């Protein structure tokens, strides 16, 4: 039994990683529900949000893509056994993630300033807030996973365990990156 431990261990990490994938699926479906609402709404009312989206969304999108690249480099550093580099890039990801959050809030402020309030008789405009707000909740969860991996990089935990933590952070973070790009492009195309 003792000999089979590392193998059962790996087994368990594989299964737990799968849990994250399934969460990604269900989360995609939730956003799919909202964008479907948007499509049906826009089709039946013959109108979208009708706004020029704030420039800040471009910057935040760029920041989020950069954070994904940083996280990718962190994963690569861990694969090469360079925990210091991994730590550095994780910090960078974390920082960029926070900047993204700030920029999103900034964008809401600009929307508000131009009169596109959340409480609106055009549900398509309210939907911009709903999508970005719930995406931001995901960013918060992603940041928690990154911190989890970061804490792991400071502790003497086994390579498998560190890899597992890094991998679930990576799966989730890249997912919310792609998710945001999808949402942003969706909103740009369906104005």
Partner 1 sequence: MSTISIQDTHHHGTHDDHGHGHHHETFLTKYVFSQDHKMIAKQFLITGIIMAVIAMGLSILFRLQLAWPNESFPILQTFLGKWAEGGRIRPDFYLALVTIHGTIMVFFVLTAGLSGTFSNLLIPLQVGARDMASPFLNMLSYWFFFTACVVMMSSFFIQTGPASAGWTVYPPLSAIAKAIPGSGLGMTLWLVSMVLFVASSLMGGINYVTTILNMRTKGMDLWKMPLTIWAFFLTAILGILSFPVLVAGVVLLIFDRSFGTSFYLSDIVMGTQILPNEGGSPILWQHLFWFLGHPEVYIVIMPAMGISSEIISVNSRKPIFGYHAMIYSLIGITVLSFIVWGHHMFVTGMNPLLGGVFMITTLIIAVPSAVKTFNWLATLWRGNIRFTPAMLFAIGMVSFFISGGLTGIWLGNAALDINLHDTYFVVAHFHLVMGSAAIFGMLAGVYHWFPKMFGRLMDKKLGYLHFWVTFTCAYLVFFPLHFLGLDGVPRRYYAFTEFEFMQKWVTVNVLVTWSAIIAALAQVAFLFNFFYSIFKGKVSPQNPWEANTLEWTAPIERLHGNWPGEIPTVYRWPYDYSKPGADEDFIPQTVPFSQTMSSNLPHDFEGNTIAEQVQREWDIANKPADKADLD
Instruction: Give the interface with partner 1 as residue ranges (CB under 8 A).
Output: 1, 5, 8-9, 11-12, 14-16, 18-19, 22-23, 25-27, 29-34, 36-37, 40-41, 44-45, 118-123, 126-127, 130, 134
The CB-of-20 to partner 1 minimum distance in angstroms stands at 9
Select 55 or 148, whichever has its Cβ closest to partner 1.
148
Select 17 or 85, whichever has its Cβ closest to partner 1.
17
The CB-of-105 to partner 1 minimum distance in angstroms stands at 17
Select 55 or 137, whichever has its Cβ closest to partner 1.
137
The CB-of-95 to partner 1 minimum distance in angstroms stands at 26
Select 44 or 84, whichever has its Cβ closest to partner 1.
44
The CB-of-37 to partner 1 minimum distance in angstroms stands at 6
Secondary structure of the chain as H, E, C letters: CCCCHHHHHHHHHHHHHHHHHHHHHHHHHHHHHHHHHHHHHHHHHCCCCCCCCCCHHHHHHHHHHHHHHHHHHHHHHHHCCCHHHHHHHHHHHHHHHHHHHHHHHHHHHHHHHCCCCCCCCCHHHHHHHHHHHHHHHHHHHHHHHHHHHHHHHHCCCCHHHHHHHHHHHHHHHHHHHHHHHHHHHHHHHCC
Select 68 or 149, whichever has its Cβ closest to partner 1.
149
CB atoms within 10 A of CB 54: 19
The CB-of-80 to partner 1 minimum distance in angstroms stands at 25
């Amino acid at each position: 039994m003792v000999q089979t431990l590392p193998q059962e261990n790996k087994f368990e990490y594989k299964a737990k990683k799968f849990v994250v994938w399934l969460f990604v699926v269900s989360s995609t479906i939730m956003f799919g529900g909202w964008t479907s609402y948007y499509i049906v709404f826009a089709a039946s009312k013959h109108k979208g949000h009708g706004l020029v989206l704030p420039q800040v969304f471009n910057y935040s999108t760029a920041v989020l893509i950069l954070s994904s690249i940083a996280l990718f480099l962190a994963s690569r550093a861990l694969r090469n056994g360079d925990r210091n580099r991994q730590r550095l890039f994780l910090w960078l990801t974390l920082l960029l993630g926070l900047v993204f959050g700030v920029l999103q809030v900034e964008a809401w402020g600009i929307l508000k300033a131009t009169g596109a309030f959340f409480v609106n008789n055009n549900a398509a405009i309210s939907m911009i807030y709903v999508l970005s707000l719930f995406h931001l909740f995901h960013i918060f969860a992603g940041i928690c996973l990154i911190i989890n991996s970061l804490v792991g990089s400071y502790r003497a935990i086994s390579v498998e365990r560190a890899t597992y933590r890094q991998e679930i952070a990576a799966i989730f973070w890249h997912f919310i990156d792609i998710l945001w790009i999808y949402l942003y492009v969706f909103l740009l195309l369906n104005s």
